[in-house]
Amino acid sequence: MNKRILFVDDEPMVLQGLQPSLRVMRSQWEMEFAASGAEALETMARSHFDVVITDMRMPGMDGAQLLDRVKAAYPQTVRMILSGQSDLETILRSVGPTHQYLAKPCEIEDLKQKLARAFALRDLLSDPRLKEVVGRLDSVPSLPQAYVSITRALQSPATSIAEVGNIIAQDMGMCMKVLQLVNSAFFGLPSQVSDPRQAAALIGIDNIKALVLSVHVFSQFESSGPELLFLWKHGLATAGYAKAIARLQDTSRNIVDDSFAAGLLHDVGKLILASVYPEQCTRIWKLSTEDKTSSLGQERSVLGCTHAEVGAYVLGLWGARFHRGSGGLASSAIRCWAGGFFFAHRRARC
For 104-112, which contacts have Cβ atoms below 8 Å and span 24 or more sequence positions? 106/82, 108/21, 108/22, 111/22, 111/82, 112/22, 112/25
Do 3-123 and 226-349 share a fold? no
pLDDT tens, 198-241? 999 998 999 899 888 887 888 889 877 888 888 999 999 999 99
230: Cβ contacts below 8 Å, ≥ 6 apart: 348
Instruction: Answer for the pair 112, 25: CB distance below 8 angstroms, yes or no.
Output: yes
Question: Which residue would you say has higher pLDDT here, 256 or 337?
Answer: 256
d(CA 44, CA 41): 5
Question: Which residue would you say has higher pLDDT here, 83 or 47?
Answer: 47
Tally Cβ neighbours within 10 Å of residue 185: 18
pLDDT of residue 40: 97
pTM: 0.82
Max mean pLDDT among 117-131, 141-155, 300-314 falls in: 141-155
d(CA 281, CA 141): 15
* DSSP state, residue 10: S
Please give the average per-residue pLDDT across 52-68, as a whole number: 92
Instruction: Answer for the pair 288, 294: CB distance below 8 angstroms, yes or no.
Output: yes
| Domain boundaries along the sequence of the chain | 3-123, 144-214, 226-349
pLDDT of residue 63: 92
Question: Which of 56-70, 155-169, 218-232 is predicted with the least confidence, judged by mean pLDDT?
Answer: 218-232
Tally Cβ neighbours within 10 Å of residue 315: 19
pLDDT of residue 265: 92
Phi, psi (deg, nearest 5) at residue 196 = -60, -30
CATH number (1.10.10.10, 1.10.10.60, 1.10.3300.10, 1.10.3210.10) of 226-349 reads 1.10.3210.10
Judged against a pLDDT cut of 90, whether residue 171 lies above it is answered with yes
pLDDT of residue 321: 55
* DSSP state, residue 61: S
d(CA 231, CA 265): 10
Please give the average per-residue pLDDT across 41-60, as a whole number: 94
pLDDT of residue 186: 74
* Nearest one of 62, 217, 78 to 135, comparing CA atoms: 78
Tally Cβ neighbours within 10 Å of residue 120: 10
Judged against a pLDDT cut of 70, whether residue 24 lies above it is answered with yes
pLDDT of residue 342: 44
pLDDT of residue 329: 46
Please give the average per-residue pLDDT across 298-316, as a whole number: 88
pLDDT of residue 86: 61
CATH number (3.40.630.40, 3.40.50.10800, 3.40.50.2300, 3.40.50.1970) of 3-123 reads 3.40.50.2300
Rounded percentage of the chain residues whose pLDDT exceeds 70: 89
